[in-house]
Amino acid sequence: MGFTEDVREALLARVGKGRRFTNNKRMADELGVDPSQLNRFLKRERGLNADSLGKILDGLDARVNFPDEPADAAMEVCFVAPAKVSTGQESFDPVPEDYLAVPLAASPVAAGPGLIPEDKIESWVLVWRHHESVRFRSNLVAVQVGKNEMSMVPTLHPGDIVLVDRNDRDPVPAGKIMLVCEPGQEGGVMVKRVNTKRLEDDIELIFYSDNSREFPPMTYRLERDYDGDITRAIGGNVVWAWSDMTRK
């Protein structure tokens, strides 16, 4: 199946009762394209112009991967008779394109460069890609808060899982929850809030906890401790979390 047919099938899979678009007219309105052009495209009577195609891909949160681009950590999902809970037997099946399978890995692995090695993937976490915190992100990795890691209580508890965007390592604005790394090969990797302070010849990085009474802030300098490489200090931005609400 070619690219054009993939787009057509993706649109048709999202139209109908209980799906994203109730009918073709609603789909055209929400995607911002001409209804007649969309209908002809779905009927294979004509193609799409570049402007309409761009609007459709944006509206579907699609991402085009070119052959020479490196792959991201997250993978597309292929559903095989998924077990559905809390729904009637006649309810529609989930659409595979609406989800990403994100690798779950230990924090030092998640903060490292490149793709997550196959032998370091502990499990997979299914993510709905249309949520505002996930939309347009693809280089994601999941990390479970360790058994004795209490520094982010009450926001995060041991056993909670955070979703980290490895492409977002910018510590601005202050207070973002991020996957951070202590300097050196033996330095630890943990989830902390981050603040920065500009000095005359360096940038100060402050990693601090929500449980600050027991876990005081850690302060490092970007040039002095990380050779000016922010990717050695920050593994990514926490954009989502699965948390046990019975402990809140």
Per-residue pLDDT of the chain (248 residues; tens, 9 = 90+): 578 888 888 888 888 876 788 889 988 898 899 989 999 998 888 888 888 888 888 887 776 666 555 556 666 666 676 677 888 877 888 888 889 999 999 999 999 988 899 999 999 999 999 999 998 898 999 999 999 999 999 999 999 999 999 999 999 999 999 999 999 988 999 999 999 999 999 999 999 999 999 999 999 999 999 999 999 999 999 999 999 888 77
**Whether 116 and 194 share a structural domain:** yes
**Alpha helix (H) ranges present in the chain?**
3-12, 24-31, 35-42, 50-59, 107-110, 222-226, 230-233
**Whether 28 and 138 share a structural domain:** no
Structure tokens at 239: 């954009």
In a domain, 83, yes or no: no
Q: Tell me which residue range forms the domain holding 141.
A: 98-247
Neighbours of 186 (CB within 10 A): 6
Contact 136, 165 (CB under 8 A): no
In a domain, 93, yes or no: no
Q: What are phi and psi of 224, to 5 degrees?
A: -65, -45
In a domain, 231, yes or no: yes
In a domain, 223, yes or no: yes
Neighbours of 167 (CB within 10 A): 14
In a domain, 70, yes or no: no
The structural domain count of the chain equals 2
In a domain, 84, yes or no: no
In a domain, 205, yes or no: yes
Contact 109, 166 (CB under 8 A): no
Neighbours of 49 (CB within 10 A): 11
**Which residues face 208 on adjacent strands?**
193
